[in-house]
Amino acid sequence: MKQWIDEHTGRKIRQLTDSPGGVSLDYFRLPRYLPNGLVMASGSDDPGDLWLLDAGSGDCQRRRLPIKRRLKLRERDGKLWYVGTAGRDVWEVTLPEGVPHRVTEVPAEITGHIVDITCDGESLIIDLTEELGTARTVPLTKDAGAFWRYIDRPRKGYLWSYDVANGTVTELARSQIYGFGHHDTSPADGHLVKFSPDYYDALCQRIWTARTDGSQLTRIRPQKAGEFVTHEFWWPDGKAIGYTYQDRRQDPALRELPWGEYAPVPSHFGVANLKGEEIYLSDPLNHYHSHLYVSADTKWSIGDGTEGHSFVYAAAFSLSSSRIEFQALATVHTPYVPFAGQGVDATITPDGRWMLYNDTLDGVKQVCAVALE
């Protein structure tokens, strides 16, 4: 395990992985911890190359599984669900040493991609975006014209749940003008899923929830045009949803600078309950953070680096105080990419001792740790 003193923060950094192909923590809002405190990461180009890391000792366990797409890790017992290499078969395995078992195979006539599974393993979430014109890729440049051409491309979207036991398909949402994304089932309720339109966050209702039986379609934190709500995530107990908020209703630069990181308005950390009501909004933060998150005990908030602020941050957090004072803990060396950020995906270990994050070292993504003091 390599260690050094950060050149900007003065803190000791631990490099937990050293793989030539790179290793990364999963996207910030996804569960990652096993009951024994190990964190799950994966090979940068191979979802079946699993790494289980101990931040304290620096030990790394490696396991390979025939995975095409990971669906969800259930943290309370370490059960991981994934789509197998055939693309329609769903499997489960209890990490770190369990034997995989096939859960189901979704018939080929059910179109769409298997994107998630409920925490009880009873329902799959299936998504389909139907491109109606020339397919466009996400523009990773500071080009507003390319951004809006991508956002406004013609498409339709469909979202379904699939009952594993009886094969019933239920429509959750559909749209004639956009697709859906950020599908994320509740960590506590086996019949609840959160999702978002793949449209511009300040010109649509960003956060929705629905029951897997198709009922109770709910707007979470209803928006007015120009209110920018983004990067939503489940609260650890599943009883609320956190997000980043910017008020751009009076911002004349909305079209020219649609990206949150370049907006000339302050950023806030918000939380809404499952009725959709906002129950918390922070004071303005010290700057925009690519992602905002909280520790499992919600005592800490986490901020990811962004352009001009290439650090991973932490701050004491309480719903009873609107003040969040982020402090830089470690430098992020990954080059910044507009729209995509830096892929920091920081997290705090369940024991509250370490912050883990992705960083680029010698040209390759690796997982690093810094003590949380």
Task: Tell me: do 43 and 130 sit in the same domain.
Answer: no
Task: Report which secondary-structure segment, H or E, holds 146.
Answer: helix 144-151
Q: What is the span of the domain harbouring residue 321? A: 1-59+282-373
The answer to the question of residue 359 being in a domain is yes
Q: What is the pLDDT of residues 218-251, one digit of tens each?
A: 999 999 999 999 999 999 999 999 999 999 999 9
* pLDDT, mean of residues 121-146: 93
Task: Tell me: do 120 and 33 sit in the same domain.
Answer: no
Return the bridge partners of 93, or none: 80
Task: Tell me: do 128 and 187 sit in the same domain.
Answer: yes
Last residue of a domain, one of 229, 245, 262: 229
Model confidence at 269: pLDDT above 90:
yes
261/290 Cα distance (integer angstroms): 7
Name the band, by pLDDT with cuts 50, 70 and 90, for residue 134.
confident
Q: Kindly report the average pLDDT of the chain as a whole number.
A: 96
Model confidence at 135: pLDDT above 80:
no
Task: Tell me: do 20 and 97 sit in the same domain.
Answer: no
* pLDDT, mean of residues 130-148: 91
The answer to the question of residue 147 being in a domain is yes
Q: What is the pLDDT of residues 44-56, one digit of tens each?
A: 889 999 999 999 9
Task: Tell me: do 52 and 80 sit in the same domain.
Answer: no
203/246 Cα distance (integer angstroms): 12
Residue 121: closest CA among 85, 76, 158 = 76
Model confidence at 373: pLDDT above 90:
no
Task: Tell me: do 118 and 206 sit in the same domain.
Answer: yes
Task: Tell me: do 286 and 331 sit in the same domain.
Answer: yes
The answer to the question of residue 72 being in a domain is yes
pTM of the model as a whole: 0.96
Model confidence at 100: pLDDT above 90:
yes
The answer to the question of residue 277 being in a domain is no
Model confidence at 21: pLDDT above 90:
yes
The answer to the question of residue 372 being in a domain is yes
Alpha helices in 50-109 (DSSP H): none
Task: Tell me: do 23 and 70 sit in the same domain.
Answer: no
pLDDT for position 305: 87
The answer to the question of residue 239 being in a domain is no
Task: Tell me: do 156 and 54 sit in the same domain.
Answer: no
Q: Report the CATH number at residue 202.
A: 2.130.10.10
Model confidence at 288: pLDDT above 80:
yes
For 60, the token pair is 């790394």
Task: Tell me: do 103 and 182 sit in the same domain.
Answer: yes
- For the chain, what is the domain count? 2
pLDDT for position 181: 94
* pLDDT, mean of residues 342-351: 96
Q: Are 156 and 130 in contact (CB under 8 A)?
A: yes
Q: What is the pLDDT of residues 305-324, one digit of tens each?
A: 899 999 999 999 999 999 99
Task: Tell me: do 209 and 290 sit in the same domain.
Answer: no
Task: Tell me: do 112 and 190 sit in the same domain.
Answer: yes
* pLDDT, mean of residues 75-89: 96
* pLDDT, mean of residues 345-350: 96
Q: What is the pLDDT of residues 167-216, one digit of tens each?
A: 999 999 999 999 999 999 999 999 999 999 999 999 999 999 999 999 99
Q: Are 182 and 174 in contact (CB under 8 A)?
A: no
Q: What is the pLDDT of residues 331-340, one digit of tens each?
A: 999 999 998 8
Model confidence at 370: pLDDT above 90:
yes
pLDDT for position 136: 81
Q: What is the CA radius of gyration of the chain?
A: 20
* pLDDT, mean of residues 77-82: 98
Name the band, by pLDDT with cuts 50, 70 and 90, for residue 69.
very high
The answer to the question of residue 190 being in a domain is yes
pLDDT for position 313: 98
The answer to the question of residue 71 being in a domain is yes
pLDDT for position 44: 87
Last residue of a domain, one of 184, 203, 229: 229
pLDDT for position 275: 98
